[in-house]
Structure 1
Amino acid sequence: MQSEFPVNILLVDDQPENLVALEAILGELGANLVKSTSGAEALRCLLQDDFAVILLDVQMPQMDGFEVATLIRHRQRSRDTPIIFLTAFSSNEQFMFKGYALGAVDYLIKPIAPNILLSKVAIFIDLFKKSEALRQKTEILQQQTSQLEAINAELQMSEERFRLLSTCSPLGVFVTDTEGHCVYTNPRFQAICWGSTEAIPEQSWLISVHPDDSAIAQSTWTAFMAEGQEYSQEFRFQAEDEVARWVSIRSARLVSEQRQFLGYVGTVEDITERKQAEAANAQVIREQAARQEAETANRMKDEFIAVLSHELRTPLNSILGWSHLLRSRNLDPQKTDYAISTIERNAIAQKQLIEDILDVSQIVRGKLQLHCQPLDLAAIAQAALETVRPAAEAKAIALVDNLQEIPRLEIVGDALRLQQVVWNLLTNAIKFTPQQGRVDLQLSVVPDLPKSSISSPAAYEPGYVQLRISDTGMGIDADFLPHIFDRFRQADSSTTRAQGGLGLGLAIVYYLVEQHQGYVWAESPGAEQGTTFTVALPLVPSPSDPVPAAPPDPQPAEVGLRALVNMPILIVDDDADTRDYLTFLLESQGAIVTTAATAGKGFQLLSTTQPALLLCDISMPDMDGYTLIQKIRTELPAPQAQIPAIAITAHARVSDQAHALASGFQHHLPKPVEAEALIQTILQATGATAS
């Protein structure tokens, strides 16, 4: 008979042969038979194991069976263990009662019938097995009960922690089902979304999004549920009667340990203060940047004013100095010629400075106008090259070009402004190239032209003519190269700088090229390694037949010494020096000159005389030139009302010229006026011919 767990039977008898006999009878039960020859040994066995039944001899030395039974019953663990007394004495009722009183379950007289003993012991073995199984089940049940109680306690604690976390959380928490419908929200979520801690069943955070952000919120949330990636967005929320607040929404898929998709869990966080802080910080940064930019601009302007003062005063020093020496009349003829050429050269330099300043002024105000027409860029470059050749020869600088090898390169542009571009670049190259250096001017048609980064050509588009001007001069430092076309910027603005200029020429070049839909960029390996400026302008698409070369511009005829003989001319100008200069110039050509210091005096003279021409200033104190010419055209009778009139003024802008012509002048000459240009214009206006 096999058992799921061991079954022990304790055999106690002081006679070994009796123990052997019992072992022989009970051996077939398959139990573990533990033999003991004394009561003390039996008690020791009970300390180690549990027994299904104890077969206990009554008559034993030192400690009889009744004494052993008494001790067994006093022990808690063996109190209920069945005891069968065995004795060789007659069935004395007194012994039997004593045995039963001690808790014996039976009292057998030796010799014992084997079948009776087997049946009785088998019953107790079966009872023991059932009791042990029940005990084990009870223990398992108790363990399970304890575990369940512990789990319930932990669950209760966990639920309490979750409730506390959910209630006290600074973040709003929401849980949705797989369709995105809310199944749980905490109080903070409710407070953020609709300004109340009362739950609104199945209401999503989407209903609280500001109307201006609603579309993007809906689309991103729909995309999130479709794709399953983590969701993180920031939107404005606006509850009823509340100002808009910024809220951060984060969400992720909710998946069980068995990888089952349960829905979505997410948080909402009020980030209004952070956004306000960011906005305030951004405002501070913008203000700091604006302040720094203003300080930089002021510093650049201060530097520019200092440079302007230097550049204007330097030629004035030569002009005034040599003028003083000429007045002294102590110069020989050769020195006199040198003085006059120096005064003229410095006056021209001042004129160029003023023209640069006026150009930049018009650029800043967006008033610079171009008069575009088809022209040959090679001819423009050649004209600019010839203009700067004397300056190059003075420094023994070699001018190398390929203009003779280039056919007509037709572009659409303003001839004067493009010549100004080439002249500025060539002048710069000569200025910054040392004695006996070299300046190259190369024209070419390129199939590719930079489209993205002008300073670092990468992507291209076809149909451009490219003009490259390279020099062997001082080069440009890499740190300054990105600022080379900025206004009022020079690589060296210190008082010890070696080269002059206002730092406006390249800014004008950049603007003019840009206005021609072209590109310009500078390249330099570094200081003392030369510089290359490249201008690229769009070509006019070539027709099937070749375009004939543009005829050269007609040159004005040379003016004779007495071109204005007997021509009566009225000069109106409030500046006495200008009146004296013009009077001397015109009278030297044979004209009969009358002058007026005010517009009113000029109008009075014109109403009583009939001069052939009026030379009139614009800015005068009592009445300006525009008003005077309009008054002449409208108030005087013929032929005075139709008198040819030329405006001679320091207002040299294109808009000033247009204003003068619209007011009634036939021509506009900006100061300073060149003598030959003035005489040619007078002849043109009066229809006379040079004598």
Structure 2
Amino acid sequence: MILIVDDRPENILPLKKILELHNFSVDTAESGEEALKKVLKTNYAVIILDVQMPGMDGFEVANAIAGFSKAKDTSIIFLSAVNTEKRFITQGYTSGGVDYLTKPVDPDILVLKVKTLYRLYRQQQELRETHQILQKEIEVRKRAQEEVEVRMQELRLVLASLPQMAFMIRPDGQIEYVNEHWFRYSTNPTAFPNTHPDDGICDEWRIYLKKGIEFSREIRLKELESNEYRYHLLRLVPIKQQEVPVRWVGTYTDIHPQKMAAELLEQEVELRTKELLVKNIELERSNHELQQFTWVVSHDLKEPLRKIQILNDLIKEKYLSTNPEAVSYLDRSINSSARMSGLINDLLAYSQLSTPALFQPTDLNQIVVEILADFDELITKKKAVISVGVLPIIDTIPGRIRQVFQNLISNALKFSKKDIPPKIGILAERVKDKDLDSAPDDTGRYYRLIVHDNGIGFDEKFMDRIFVIFQRLENQNHYEGTGIGLAIAKKNVDRHNGIISAKSRVNEGSQFILILPIDQNDTPEIKNR
């Protein structure tokens, strides 16, 4: 900040405006006494001081300011219109001024001088701050050095009490301290113990030493008394001062018993793994036999059902067409047989989900087109409006992913509101993570597929039931189904290393969300196998 001191406001105003045009903060005083009060409260870089003032003149003010330690870096420029003689100029310099200008003052010259003195003031302030910082740094380093010496002594006492080999190394890599356990493996306190020929680490740990980072490794040391190699864990930890390593503390911890136990455990694990492989082969064989049995049983069950349906239809048409009550009973029987047949088919499909199958690139657009063609009659009947976005090509088992979309579209058509045409939408977007709420990402490894409708919906408190086999939220008298479709969809999505969930409200429609990987070979589930 710049202070202008003059007893005449008409002299202050033009100087103030000129300096403010050059982005200086300007303060003013109309007497020497007022100027001294302001100097005591505020730091000024430059004071422009008029010589002729009533009361205290400029020289007296300058002499007073020179006694203020707070203003020792402040530069004073004298201005005078009368006292232009050499003796007055000399008095100005001896009073503490750095310049003496006579009026009228050239504004450009004044601004240049103020800029130079202001810059000098800032440099002096920075030098003083730097000096103070350096002083503090020296004091801190001195105290730190003293603390390090105390800590080193304490550390030696601690290392001496450890039940393991302990040592200290200087930054140049030379050993400067070892405890008594060291001599079980080395007779030389400045040389490392003999290591196994396959465990040479001299070059390796020195690299870590140069980088100033912790080093840890298993190593075998030769015990002098037994002449045998024992496993140890070597650790080197830097002791830093101002982020610079000043010492290294090292330990050799005997882990020989644990190592021997671990090797024995590995042998046991290897043995158990072989046994599990044998059991797994047997389990796969049993599973295959069970699937064959399920197929045979389902086929044998469906054959009598077909005959029951055919015979019931014949009886209704030939003998009971004129008996409405009997026809009603037969229709119930026929419908029950049809539901039983559907249940057997769904059970058969569910049992076959564990059968191994190969993934291959699949165009989901083609899958959905084929499914909609299958439902064409029902779509026309219900006047359904179906919109399908651009779907991706991803790795799937085509037959099984078809089951997923077939069940979701079938449910959307089935559980529609009465007298309201179903509206079904299918869309996809690429996402970063395997998470239902993952953010869209054009380079992500997954796709989020959404099938939404305007049907009857369901209460989300039953969310944990909708993907469980045989669980139904609606009365089967109102809506047909076996309660297996969503269980099949869930198992198929799991087989594709994906996730499936739903969002819904009663009478506000449902939204089924799938997250499926684009490349099955790029999923964490496959990589971790």
Shorter chain as denominator, the TM-score bin is: 0.3 to 0.5
TM-score, with length taken from structure 1: 0.34
Higher relative contact order (CA 8 A, sep 6+): 2
Larger radius of gyration: 1
